[in-house]
A and B are shown apart, each in its own frame.
Chain A
Amino acid sequence: MTEDRFFDKLREDCTQLRYEPRDGALWARLPGRIRDRIHNQPSVSQMLARWFRPITVAFAALSIVAALSVTWIEHIRETAYAVEAMGSNSLEITVDGDTFNLTAAE
């Protein structure tokens, strides 16, 4: 048998390998699924919403993180000012007529 004859014969025998689903309902189900998809195509506003929603969420998350960061930095700065103010001013305490002067250690 020649190569070509072999391949022709094989091609004839291969027709039985075409897919035939066990699930016969597929041929009714598939057009229904396709119909549902094409009849529920998103409108332009839905398409835009689908794009913009994640972007909006990302911006909102960034804004929250930025606001929290600024608040925290401000809080740290205020604490540092208070310690600095205490350190730069001496404090006098009088006990039984004796005056003690408290200054921050260098």
Chain B
Amino acid sequence: MFTVQSEVDRTPADSDLIEQRAIAAVKTGDADSYDYLVSKYMKRVVSIAWGIVRNAHDAEDLAQEAFVKAFQTIARFKPGEPFGPWIYRIVTNLALDVIKHRQRFRHEEVSDALPATRGDRADLPAVTNELGRRIDAAIESLPEMQRIVARLFLVENFEHAEIAAMTSLSEGTVRSHLSLARAKLRERLADLYEGSHD
């Protein structure tokens, strides 16, 4: 079994090396070494999934599914590549499939039905202040792809190219979604940010 060191004692270079060793071990059939990759990436993976589907149970199931899928196809994983972008792309695609499925289901419902909510606001324990709640509500009010791209950029701190790779959109489309989202967010959060000159 692959030994898992404490994250605190580890430099980024150490972490990359350990990650590559874990991937190599998993490829040779040592399934226990996969624990290291799961523990390193699970929080981010769950957060990405939750940001898209906005439901705690779905996010947990999607994270599980993404890790299992990555494990099953790890033989195809290129040596030397970081595991993060790969697992983030898998979970994003799975979460986008859930969103598409929900939209299709919503279309099939009778037209006078109430619009389904995106998720459970009770799943948002981190947001304890008014500012956080206002920003979250403003992001949630954006059209679907603008919301997803804005969330990956603003909350998850991914760059344009990373978001493009995760969502299978072109970088130009990502920039376009972000530009539209920025204009809408600036308008909706004007009272919070326009007075500030810093």
B is bound to A:
yes
Residues of A within 8 A of B (CB): 1, 3, 6-7, 9-11, 13-23, 26-27, 29-31, 33-35, 37-39, 41
Contact B154 A38 (CB under 8 A): no
Main secondary structure of the interface of B (DSSP, over half): helix
Q: List 23 A–B pairs whose Cβ atoms lie within 8 Å, in order of A's numbering.
A: A1-B194, A9-B198, A10-B189, A10-B193, A13-B131, A14-B155, A15-B155, A16-B126, A16-B129, A17-B135, A17-B155, A19-B51, A19-B126, A21-B56, A21-B125, A22-B56, A22-B123, A30-B42, A30-B60, A31-B42, A34-B34, A35-B35, A39-B31
In the complex, the answer to whether A18 meets B196 with C-beta atoms within 8 Å is no
Q: Quick one: closest B residue to A26, CB to CB?
A: B60
A3 to B138, CA, bound (A): 16
Tell whether, in the assembled complex, residue A17 and residue B136 are in contact, meaning their CB atoms are under 8 Å apart: yes
Residue of A nearest to B48 (CB): A19
Q: How long is the Cα–Cα vector from A99 to B59 in the complex, in angstroms? A: 94
A1 B135 Cβ-Cβ under 8 A: no
Contacts of B56 in A (CB 8 A): 21-23
In the complex, B93 has a CB within 8 A of chain A: no
The answer to whether A14 touches B154 (Cβ under 8 A) is: yes
A33–B50 Cα gap in the complex (Å)? 18
A15 to chain B: which residues have CB within 8 Å? 155, 157
A29 nearest CB neighbor, chain B only: B60
Q: Which residues of A contact B64 (CB under 8 A)?
A: 30, 33-34, 37
Q: Assign chain B's interface to a size class.
A: 35 or more
> In whole Å, how far is B74's beta carbon from the nearest beta carbon of chain A?
10
Q: Is the CB of A13 within 8 A of B42?
A: no
Partner of B185, one of A10, A17, A35, A37: A10
- Distance in angstroms between the alpha carbons of A11 and B185 in the assembled complex: 12
B106 at the interface (CB under 8 A from A): no
Smallest CB gap from A39: residue in B: B31
Cross-chain contact B59 with A19 (CB below 8 angstroms)? yes
> Which residues 47-92 in B have Cβ within 8 Å of A in the complex?
47, 50-51, 56, 59-60, 63-64, 67-68, 71-72
Question: Across the interface, which residues of A come within 8 angstroms of B122, CB to CB?
Answer: 22
CA distance A1 to B198 in the complex (A): 8
Chain B contacts for A34, CB-based, 8 A:
34, 38, 64, 67-68, 71
Q: CA A15 – CA B198 in complex, angstroms?
A: 19
Which single residue of chain B is at the shortest CB-CB distance from A7? B182
The answer for the CA separation of A15 and B189 in the assembled complex, in Å, is 17
Q: Is B132 an interface residue (CB 8 A)?
A: yes
Q: Is the CB of B34 within 8 A of A38?
A: yes
Chain A positions within 8 Å of B183 at CB level: 3
A7: chain B residues at CB < 8 Å are 154, 182
